[in-house]
Structures are given as C-alpha cells and as structure tokens.
Amino acid sequence: MADFRSVVAAINEKLDGLDRHLETIEQRKPLSATIEVVELEKTVPQLKNEDQEALSSDLDIGHLPEMKGENILHTVIQVAAKLGVTLEERDIVFVERVGSADRVGKEKRARRVVVRLARRQLRYDLLSAARVRRTLSSTQLDIVAPTQRIYLNERLTRANRQLFHQVREECRRLQWRFSWTKRVRIYARQGDGKQVYPIRSEADVKRVFGPNLV
C-alpha cells in the first residue's frame, strides 16, 4: 500500500508539474503574440517603404490620349519638351501603358503611362516643370484627340495609390481644396493658409477626415 501511495504521489507531482508548465505556456503566449505583432508593425511599413523606393525614378502620366499604333516613347519625349525639359531615348529605361487594353477607343479613357527614367533628377525636373506649367494639354502635342489636360505624378505603389485615392475622395466629400504627393508622401489641406496634414495610413485618414469615410 505504501508503494502504491508513493506511486500515486509521484504521478500527482508530475501532473502538478505539467499543470504549472501549461500555465507558464499560457502566460507566455499572449506576450509572444504581442511581440510578434509589434515586430510585424515595424516590418510592414519598412517593406512598403522599400517597395516605394524601388519606384523612385518612375513617373505616372495621366490623360495622355491613346492612339492605335502610337509611338509612346516619342510622345513622352515630346511631353517633356513641352515642359521645357530635354529627354533623350537613353534617358528612358522603359515606358508603357498600364491597364486593360480593351479600354482603348474613342469613347474610352486612355490608360495611364508609366515611365522609368535613368536618373531621379530627371523625374524631379519633370515634376517641377509640370507644377509650374499646369496648362499642358493634348492640343499642344501632335495628337488628333479631344482636348484634355495632361497630368504628371510620382508613381506610387498600389497600396499608396489606393490610399491617395481615398484621400482625394474625402477631400471631394468635405470640399477640401488640396491633396497632393511630394517625394512619395501624401498630403491634404482644407484651403489656403490651413494646416497641412501628412497621410501615411488609413488611420491617418480617419484621424484627419473623421470616422465616417466614403
């Protein structure tokens, strides 16, 4: 009987030890999960910044009329010339339309043009010139198409492009006058002389424009 009690006591002691070990694990799990979340919160913005940095020499050109059989490289060089910036073919790493080709046509909106330049300074020069000469339109190019103002912007990653779209929609809803990007940062301002708000995330959108988003 004494031996049996000794065995039972030993088993109970082991079970108690397992219970204590499980409690320790349960206590450690939330801490481990919290640490993992914190690390992810640090890593995700870093990865987004790296993705955006990869586009640091890229431009988006919007509302540039799209014609069948066009020479888009020549057209981009012509756009630069109208802005007072000299571009040569060697200055352009690649240029292409992006979007579905079935949008091409007389009644369809032209696909945007993505340009990668050989140097960041060229992008800066073109963006600066476009801000000064805001009246560049399709009529100034050798293109037979309805008149449209042509826009040059920094090329954003998909995530930043969606965020910028959300900011523009909120500005329209609340009748804010200004939303723009500069050095791939998104900004908004209600009007002249008002505070400038940097927008880095959807949380910033809610903070600046309120919780009732469109």
For residues 125-129, average pLDDT: 93
Instruction: Answer yes or no: is 9 within a domain.
Output: yes
Q: Are residues 32 and 102 in the same domain?
A: no
Instruction: Answer yes or no: is 214 within a domain.
Output: no
Question: What's the pLDDT tens digit per position in 128-187?
Answer: 999 888 788 888 887 778 888 899 999 988 888 899 999 999 999 999 999 988 888 899
Q: Are residues 148 and 64 in the same domain?
A: yes
Contact criterion met (CB below 8 Å) for 66 and 76: no
- The β-bridge relationship of strands 112-117 and 185-189 is unpaired
Instruction: Answer yes or no: is 7 within a domain.
Output: yes
Q: Say which CATH number the domain at 134 has.
A: 3.30.70.1820
For residues 69-85, average pLDDT: 94
Q: Are residues 44 and 123 in the same domain?
A: no
User: What is the identity of the amino acid at 79?
Assistant: V
pTM reported for the whole predicted model: 0.65
Among the candidates 139, 154, 169, a domain finishes at 154
Number of Cβ within a 10 Å radius of residue 187: 15
For residues 97-116, average pLDDT: 77
For residues 82-86, average pLDDT: 94
- Tell which residue, 76, 82, 68, has the closest CA to residue 116: 76
What is the predicted pLDDT for the residue at 40? Answer: 47
Identity of the highest mean pLDDT range in 1-15, 48-62, 118-132: 118-132
Q: Are residues 130 and 198 in the same domain?
A: no
How many folded domains does the chain comprise?
3
Structural domain containing residue 145: 56-154
Q: Are residues 64 and 40 in the same domain?
A: no
Q: Are residues 64 and 141 in the same domain?
A: yes
User: What is the identity of the amino acid at 69?
Assistant: G
Q: Could you tell me which residues are beta bridge partners of residue 60? A: 114, 153
Q: Are residues 135 and 167 in the same domain?
A: no
Q: Are residues 143 and 71 in the same domain?
A: yes
Instruction: Answer yes or no: is 184 within a domain.
Output: yes
Q: Are residues 123 and 178 in the same domain?
A: no
Instruction: Answer yes or no: is 16 within a domain.
Output: yes
